[in-house]
Amino acid sequence: MKPNHFHIKKLIPWLLYILLPLAILHLYLSTLSSPATSPNDTASTSVSVSSSSSDSQTVAEQHPSWTSCNFSDGQWVPHSGGPLYSGTACKTIKKGQNCMEHGRPDAGYLHWRWQPRRCSLPPFDPAAFLDLIAGKHLAFVGDSMARNQLESLLCLLAVAEEPDLVYRDGEENKFRRWVFRRRNATVSIFWSPFLVKGVEKDEPAGRKHNTLFLETADERWAADLEGIDVVLFSAGHWYLLPAIYHEHGVVLGCHACPDFNLTEIGFFDVFRKAVRTALGEVSRRQNSSGEKLVLVTTFSPAHFEGEWDKAGACSKKEPYREGEKEMGYTDALMRRIAVEEVAASAAAADSRGGGKVKMEALDVTEMALLRPDGHPGPYMHPHPFAGGEVRDRVQNDCVHWCLPGPIDSWNEMLLQVIRRWKKGSH
């Protein structure tokens, strides 16, 4: 992997934790976050998971030999058993997501399992997962949600075998690689919040917006594609932030940029272009001898209620019941874009490459929507209410997921998708 050249002080990761939730909150409270009301708007997705079923069926119809179960159509059910790992036993959890170690007093959020309606989703089997990726390289590419899912997977796999960290670039751990030596299995993370080439905002340096080049994949991950067997893209939240967009040498417009004389074009079409570019780059660089599985984890909704730095911003203790929470327009459309682009790119890859590249959406949006109880909230910091202190203002993370927590179910789905791919490739 190429070095990551960011001149960022140690304070910046904490500033990003502050700025990103705040930006997301403002957008969620704007008209973008209001539920879609038109019955003709296919982006209006309710918790009844009907629309996710139709989108997933489209993919299934195109790939009947290896897509047989819509894991996204289901519900959270009580589970008497606990997680496979704990916050104290796993060594790779980012501090801000280690809710147990940081003193979260309730544990009910750990006792729910995702149950698909028309098939079973077996509990995660660490040894079986490692057997599936033996001799292979699994790479997570994207933003902090990609890292969240990666760290969940590492904790789950460590139950069977501890990973060895063999590569680390930079103090912020944005590019890392682990090896499970008994099976020669490699798992890595590539920081790429836009998937395409981009320059990130840097407030201390006076750069208040992101700059994206939509026709060019981020070479920091694309350059390593030849050695990657399974690539999982997970991005989206950074698209809600102010940005200027370029394509083929032309400035298309911007999002949330009142200081510039540019056309406001939002971020939905831009996100679509970026996903299309990333998927197309995988197909373009695929050699004729190997096979590759490409996955896109769909958008994971945030759960801010009220002000992001107010106590109780995401304080629920149980999942939403079915029908209790309607999906907002932004969440639904970001999910739909990913599903549609995966389906289109999968069909194109099949026609060009004879099945060498398989693509699928790991559709987690609705199952994530139903879990407001699974975020660190104020426990992104250690013991925020130590000594019974009552604080009116406290920083909350209502975007990422506690580890262990609901995101472990994403990797239960991932195991089954990789298993189907392996069976179909022999």
Active site members: 144, 397, 400
Centroid of chain to Cα 151: 12
DSSP-derived secondary structure letter, 326: P
In the chain, the amino acid numbered 268 is F
Phi and psi angles of residue 243, each rounded to the nearest 5 degrees, phi first: -160, 155
Q: Which helix (H) or strand (E) holds 250?
A: strand 250-255
Beta strands 210-217; 112-116: pairing state: unpaired
Residues comprising the chain, all counted: 426
Q: In this structure, are residues 311 and 391 in contact, taking their beta carbons and an 8 Å threshold?
A: yes
* Burial of residue 199, with CB atoms counted within 10 A of its CB: 0-12 exposed, 13-18 middle, 19 or more buried: middle
DSSP-assigned states of every residue in 194-212: TSEEEE--BGGGTB-SEEE
The number of beta carbons lying within 10 Å of the beta carbon of residue 234 is: 29
Give a three-class secondary structure readout of 328-394: EHHHHHHHHHHHHHHHHHHHHHHHHHCCCEEEEEECCHHHHHCCHHHCCEHHHCCCCCHHHCCCCEC
Beta strands 137-142; 230-234: pairing state: parallel
Q: In this structure, are residues 328 and 300 in contact, taking their beta carbons and an 8 Å threshold?
A: no
